[in-house]
């Protein structure tokens, strides 16, 4: 379980997050929604240690994260899939995957790799290809697969639907749903595409200008017309 | 509006001319009151100052780095030496300086054209190659350029009207070293006024725009290549003038005077003084001229051999250069100016705890995008705001 | 014909050294986007370390190892202490910093080791090998030069291709933030990268010095040649650096042999200008040309 309490963060004079409190429950998908600039990406960057909070607590299953360096997060079971092109294009598909496995510490076995290529067969087919040759959807699968290599308990997903065709988005969200159901993974999903996100999430949090304006079960949010019109744009 | 701009321009020009006049008075007073030995030293300071002034305009205003200014000085010096082979030559020194400038300008244009598409490490590497290559040319063309020994420079007799004029003003006879020092400092003043005016005007604005943000400059209709080449050429021209003055001062143009070390110490001078500042360039030149003897004396007192002690001065430049970049990238002048601004701001708003940005130009960066990555750009000096890395 | 062949052979040997030096520059450029102009005096200092060891009566090989190890330590130290604060900041600062180090190391070496030319031994004969009655311009030390550079390159390739550390180093070089998110200690990888680069530079320094003279500035022109070789190869590509080094070595050898050794640096400058003007991405640049 990931709990944020009174989190504030910003860049210089700009405040990006103000007193944000939310919980991502175990074995659930929690969607963080909001328009561009609402502070969603900053939220994930702050949780994973890429950005330092000004104040507030971050707690992952009893461990305080707010002073932990980003590179230690994989060992604590937290994996952050960054927005957009998070693949290292100069490395091959397999090298990207191995790198994900190394984050946990120790060596990467072929069975670790096989587990991921079973989930994403296309990655197995292209394992020797440079990641730069993958399509947008394949790249998104690669970054998710790479994050899973570290066997995380909490997965942070930043805009996985960005720039992808609806069919691929559905495929990826379906996979995430399966992982949560079958492996007990917890997911904190940041999305601008609220409709798709709420269709897969258990719980939703809406951010506006760095503040939490709604926090409710996903179907409740999807049913709230006023909120949808005001903040979610559908 | 137009009238106001032009009056502003006149105002800037007037200020530069006034500063030049004041400088001239100081120069006359100083040169007249010191010994021949000091006059020669001051002439050296002048040529280092001219070269550093050209370099600081390139690096500070345009964000380009040249490690080849020593080599460009060599071109100016050899041109002068070829024009002044013996007493027979009747060319006035001003013409010699001009020819040296033109020749160096031509070489600068060739290097600058290739440099136009480059920045950062590429230009640094290309000019480094220039610095290493040029002394070899003098060795290869032994017949015309004198090889290892170099070329002697024979200074023409001082024109009678100059002797008369100086005697009229100061009541003293003009010695040859003092005459050289006058030529050196007059050249420095002329070069600095020209550089200051270029820097304050439209050309300077273009250079700075290219330095600060290539994309924005291009969108504003500035030709990046032309801005870079012009900055490099202006800077090379100054180095050519400096080379001519060097030839007049040491009366020799030899490869050993134009080693890579010369180029590097020029860079040290402008970093110490503060990139982009002509005053800083002059301070740096003064340090290059007067620091070595002080440091060397300390070294010999501490029991080092003469040869070892002679290396202490570059050691100090290098260490200070590293320290300046790490601790105070604005250099001496920039840091002083920053401290002054901060003090003034504190006095104006005693309640405000927020100090202004340490930089000397361009306000505080409030344009941070929350989604942008958090790599800092060192914006502490006007010269260090060039865009991140090429990838 | 014989002169032609010998010139080519000399160039090939020299080219291997330039290739090694270019490789050192490329390793640092790839990971930190800094051209380490201080590489030349760093290699000079470590060669002097070897000379001190040898002059103290120890074998050449002990000096050789001492130089490589001190290169490793010096590279790591400089990255961690001096370079780290400017990484990721305006590139001009980093360039000025490496030049400041250039001056400092130069002056320090002159104070500590003396500012005069000293001869440096070679572990193998400097007599040309005789093939079919004619002596060719390849001697024992030349062969050693070629072999040792090839061995070091092979080890580097193995490290980067086949080990976890190598994978982490490459990841840090290509995308620091993603590497951090995947648990890579990027800082440590950068330090290691500088250390390895410095080791390779030290090897180049030893090979240039062997059987010749050393002086605080004896490596100054080599940094130019190494840089030109690296740019020939595209500055980003280790393989390009090696090919660039060989091309440059052979070209400069012909300039030296047929025109004059004084113009070698000028020839390097001309080659650099041509490459930067005609193919700024290096000789092996892909169709999509990078902005220089």
Using a CB-CB distance cutoff of 8 angstroms, which residues of chain A are in contact with residue B366? 12-14
Question: What's the pLDDT at C199?
Answer: 96
Give yes or no for residue B54 having a pLDDT over 60.
yes
* B355–chain A Cβ distance below 8 A for any pair: no
In a domain, B141, yes or no: yes
Question: What's the pLDDT at B351?
Answer: 45
Those chains having 3 or more beta-carbon pairs within 8 angstroms of chain C are A, B
pLDDT in tens, C241-286: 999 999 999 999 999 989 988 899 999 988 988 888 788 777 776 5
Question: What's the pLDDT at B105?
Answer: 93
Question: What's the pLDDT at B92?
Answer: 84
Assess contact for B91 and B155: CB atoms under 8 A: no
Give yes or no for residue B211 having a pLDDT over 50.
yes
pLDDT in tens, A7-25: 999 888 888 899 999 999 9
Total domains present in chain B: 1
Question: What's the pLDDT at B276?
Answer: 83
Output the domain CATH number for residue B54.
1.10.3470
Higher pLDDT, B335 or C181: C181
Decide: residue C151, CB within 10 A, 0-12 exposed, 13-18 middle, 19+ buried.
exposed
Question: What's the pLDDT at B327?
Answer: 85
Question: What's the pLDDT at B360?
Answer: 36
- Residue A110 CB neighbour total at 10 angstroms: 8
The residues, any chain, with a CB within 8 Å of residue B314's CB and separated by 6 or more, are B261, B265, C103, C106, C107
Give yes or no for residue A179 having a pLDDT over 80.
yes
Q: What is the ipTM of this complex?
A: 0.90
* A12–chain B Cβ distance below 8 A for any pair: yes
C-alpha to C-alpha distance for B141 and A38, rounded to whole angstroms = 69
Contact A88 C177 (CB under 8 A): no
Output the domain CATH number for residue A133.
3.40.50.300
| Sign of the alpha-carbon dihedral angle for A104, A109, A111, A115 | positive
Contact B364 A11 (CB under 8 A): no
pLDDT in tens, A102-124: 988 778 888 889 999 998 999 99
pLDDT in tens, C16-61: 999 999 999 999 988 888 899 999 999 999 999 999 999 999 999 9
Give yes or no for residue C120 having a pLDDT over 60.
yes
Give yes or no for residue C288 having a pLDDT over 60.
no
Give yes or no for residue C290 having a pLDDT over 50.
no
C-alpha to C-alpha distance for A92 and C174, rounded to whole angstroms = 13
Using a CB-CB distance cutoff of 8 angstroms, which residues of chain B are in contact with residue C104? 315, 318-319, 322
In a domain, B345, yes or no: no
Average pLDDT value for residue range A206-228: 88
Cα dihedral value C204, C210, C216, C220, nearest 10: -40
Question: What's the pLDDT at B367?
Answer: 33
Average pLDDT value for residue range C184-199: 94
Average pLDDT value for residue range B373-387: 34
* A178–chain C Cβ distance below 8 A for any pair: no
Rounded to the nearest integer, the mean pLDDT of chain B is 80
| Sign of the alpha-carbon dihedral angle for C261, C265, C269, C275 | positive
Contact B389 C96 (CB under 8 A): no
Average pLDDT value for residue range A81-100: 89
Give yes or no for residue A144 having a pLDDT over 70.
yes
pLDDT in tens, A68-79: 899 999 999 999
Using a CB-CB distance cutoff of 8 angstroms, which residues of chain B are in contact with residue C264? 136
Using a CB-CB distance cutoff of 8 angstroms, which residues of chain B are in contact with residue A8? none
C-alpha distances in Å from residue C116, one per residue of B303, C108, C113, C215: 19, 13, 9, 6
Using a CB-CB distance cutoff of 8 angstroms, which residues of chain A are in contact with residue B369? 11
Total domains present in chain A: 1
Q: How many residue pairs from chains A and C have C-beta atoms closer than 8 A? A: 67
Question: What's the pLDDT at B384?
Answer: 35
Closest Cα in chain A, distance from residue C30 (Å): 12
Confidence label for B102 from pLDDT (cuts 50, 70 and 90): very high
Closest Cα in chain A, distance from residue B337 (Å): 23
Give yes or no for residue B128 having a pLDDT over 60.
yes
Helix or strand run (H / E) with residue B230:
helix B224-250
Residue A105's domain comprises: 2-232
Question: What's the pLDDT at A147?
Answer: 93
* A37–chain B Cβ distance below 8 A for any pair: yes
Using a CB-CB distance cutoff of 8 angstroms, which residues of chain B are in contact with residue C277? 113-114, 117
Percent share of chain C, pLDDT over 70: 97
Contact A11 B370 (CB under 8 A): yes
Residue B157's domain comprises: 2-259
Rounded to the nearest integer, the mean pLDDT of chain C is 89
Closest Cα in chain A, distance from residue B357 (Å): 11
Q: By C-alpha distance, which of A127, A180, A136 is closest to A161?
A: A136
Those chains having 3 or more beta-carbon pairs within 8 angstroms of chain A are B, C
Higher pLDDT, B304 or C9: C9
In a domain, B12, yes or no: yes
Rounded to the nearest integer, the mean pLDDT of chain A is 90
pLDDT in tens, A31-51: 999 888 788 889 999 999 999
Q: Which of residues 145-174 of C touch B (CB under 8 A)?
A: none
Question: What's the pLDDT at B301?
Answer: 85
Whole-structure pTM value? 0.84
Q: How many residue pairs from chains A and B have C-beta atoms closer than 8 A? A: 26
Give yes or no for residue B369 having a pLDDT over 60.
no
Contact B326 C265 (CB under 8 A): no
In a domain, B144, yes or no: yes
- Residue C239 CB neighbour total at 10 angstroms: 14
Percent share of chain B, pLDDT over 70: 84
Confidence label for B119 from pLDDT (cuts 50, 70 and 90): low
Furthest C-alpha separation in chain A: 51
* A70–chain C Cβ distance below 8 A for any pair: yes
Chain C residues with CB under 8 Å of a chain A CB are 164, 167-168, 170-171, 174-175, 177-186
**What is the layout of strands, in order, in the sheet containing A14-24?**
A14-24, A2-11, A55-60, A63-64
Closest Cα in chain C, distance from residue A221 (Å): 31
Question: What's the pLDDT at A112?
Answer: 87
Q: By C-alpha distance, which of B121, A73, A38 is closest to C98?
A: B121
pLDDT in tens, C61-96: 999 999 999 999 999 999 999 999 888 777 788 888
Question: What's the pLDDT at A57?
Answer: 92
- Residue B43 CB neighbour total at 10 angstroms: 28
Phi, psi of B18, deg, nearest 5: -65, -45
Question: What's the pLDDT at B387?
Answer: 36
In a domain, B245, yes or no: yes
């Amino acid at each position: 379980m990931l709990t944020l309490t009174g989190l504030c963060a910003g860049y210089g004079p700009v405040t990006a997050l103000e007193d944000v409190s939310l919980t991502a429950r175990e074995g659930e998908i929690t969607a963080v929604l909001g328009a561009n600039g609402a502070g969603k990406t900053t939220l994930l960057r702050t949780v994973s240690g890429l950005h330092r909070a000004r104040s507030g607590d971050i707690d992952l299953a009893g461990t305080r994260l707010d002073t932990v360096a980003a590179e230690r997060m994989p060992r604590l079971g937290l994996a952050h899939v960054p927005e957009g092109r998070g693949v290292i294009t100069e490395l091959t598909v397999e090298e990207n995957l191995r790198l994900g496995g190394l984050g946990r510490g120790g060596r990467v076995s072929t069975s670790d790799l096989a587990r991921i290529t079973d989930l994403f067969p296309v990655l197995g087919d292209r394992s020797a290809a440079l990641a730069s040759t993958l399509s947008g959807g394949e790249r998104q699968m690669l970054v998710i697969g790479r994050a899973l290599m570290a066997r995380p308990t909490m997965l942070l997903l930043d805009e996985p639907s960005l720039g992808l065709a609806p069919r691929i988005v559905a495929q990826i969200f379906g996979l995430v749903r399966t992982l949560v159901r079958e492996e007990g993974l917890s997911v904190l999903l940041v999305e601008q595409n609220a409709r798709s996100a709420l269709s897969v999430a258990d719980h939703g949090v809406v951010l506006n200008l760095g503040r939490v304006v709604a926090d409710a079960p996903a179907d409740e949010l999807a049913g709230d017309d006023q909120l949808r019109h005001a903040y979610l744009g559908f | 509006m137009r009238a106001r701009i032009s009056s502003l321009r006149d105002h800037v020009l007037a200020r530069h001319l006034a500063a030049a006049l004041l400088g001239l008075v100081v120069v006359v007073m100083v040169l007249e009151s010191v010994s021949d030995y000091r006059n020669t030293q001051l002439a050296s300071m002048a040529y280092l100052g001219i070269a550093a002034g050209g370099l600081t305009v390139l690096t500070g205003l345009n964000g380009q780095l040249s490690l080849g200014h020593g080599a460009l000085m060599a071109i100016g010096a050899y041109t002068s030496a070829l024009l002044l082979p013996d007493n027979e030559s009747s060319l006035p020194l001003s013409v010699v300086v001009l020819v040296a400038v033109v020749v160096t300008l031509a070489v600068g244009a060739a290097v600058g054209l290739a440099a136009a598409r480059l920045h950062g490490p590429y230009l640094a590497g290309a000019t480094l190659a220039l610095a290493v290559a040029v002394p070899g040319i003098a060795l290869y063309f032994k017949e015309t350029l004198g090889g290892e020994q170099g070329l002697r420079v024979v200074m023409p007799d001082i024109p009678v009207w100059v002797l008369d004029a100086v005697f009229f003003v100061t009541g003293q006879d003009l010695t040859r070293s003092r005459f050289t020092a006058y030529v050196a400092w007059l050249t420095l003043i002329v070069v600095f006024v020209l550089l200051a005016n270029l820097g304050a005007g439209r050309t300077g604005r273009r250079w700075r725009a290219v330095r600060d943000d290539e994309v924005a400059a291009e969108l504003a209709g500035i030709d990046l290549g032309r801005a870079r080449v012009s900055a490099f050429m202006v800077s090379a021209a100054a180095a050519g003038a400096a080379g001519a003055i060097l030839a007049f001062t040491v009366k020799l143009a030899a490869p050993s005077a134009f080693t890579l070390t010369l180029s590097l110490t020029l860079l040290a001078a402008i970093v110490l003084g503060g990139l982009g500042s002509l005053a800083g360039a002059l301070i740096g030149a003064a340090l290059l001229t007067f620091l070595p003897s002080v440091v060397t004396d300390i070294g010999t007192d501490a029991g080092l051999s003469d040869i070892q002690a002679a290396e202490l001065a570059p050691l100090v430049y290098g260490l200070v250069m590293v320290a300046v970049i790490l601790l105070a990238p604005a250099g001496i002048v920039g840091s002083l100016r920053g401290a002054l601004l901060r003090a003034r701001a504190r006095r104006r708003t005693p309640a405000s705890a927020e100090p202004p940005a340490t930089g000397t130009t361009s306000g505080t960066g409030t344009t941070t995008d929350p989604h942008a990555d958090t790599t800092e750009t060192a914006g502490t000096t006007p010269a260090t705001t060039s865009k991140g890395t090429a990838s | 014909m014989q002169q032609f062949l010998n010139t080519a052979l000399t160039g090939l040997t020299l080219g291997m050294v330039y290739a090694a030096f270019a490789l050192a520059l490329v390793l640092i450029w790839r990971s930190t986007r800094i051209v380490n102009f201080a590489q030349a005096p760093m290699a000079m200092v470590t060669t002097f370390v070897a000379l001190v060891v040898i002059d103290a009566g120890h074998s050449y090989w002990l000096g050789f190892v001492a130089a490589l190890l001190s290169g490793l330590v010096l590279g790591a130290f400089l990255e961690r202490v001096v370079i780290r604060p400017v990484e990721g900041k305006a590139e001009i600062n980093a360039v000025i910093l490496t030049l400041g180090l250039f001056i400092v190391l130069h002056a320090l070496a002159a104070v500590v080791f003396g500012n005069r030319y000293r001869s440096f031994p070679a572990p193998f004969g400097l007599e040309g090998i005789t093939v079919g009655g004619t002596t060719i311009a390849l001697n024992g030390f030349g062969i050693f030069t070629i072999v040792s550079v090839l061995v070091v390159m092979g080890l580097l390739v193995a490290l980067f291709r086949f080990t976890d550390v190598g994978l982490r180093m490459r990841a840090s070089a290509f995308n620091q933030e993603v590497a951090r998110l995947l648990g890579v200690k990027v800082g440590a990888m950068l330090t290691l990268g500088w250390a390895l680069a410095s080791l390779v530079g030290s090897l180049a320094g030893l090979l240039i010095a062997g059987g010749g003279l050393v002086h605080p500035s004896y490596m100054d022109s080599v940094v130019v040649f190494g840089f030109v070789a690296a740019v020939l190869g595209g500055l980003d590509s280790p393989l390009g650096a090696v090919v660039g080094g060989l091309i440059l070595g052979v070209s400069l050898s012909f300039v030296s042999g047929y025109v004059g050794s004084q113009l070698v640096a000028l020839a390097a400058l001309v080659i650099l200008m041509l490459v930067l003007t005609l193919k700024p991405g290096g000789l092996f640049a892909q169709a999509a040309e990078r902005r220089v």
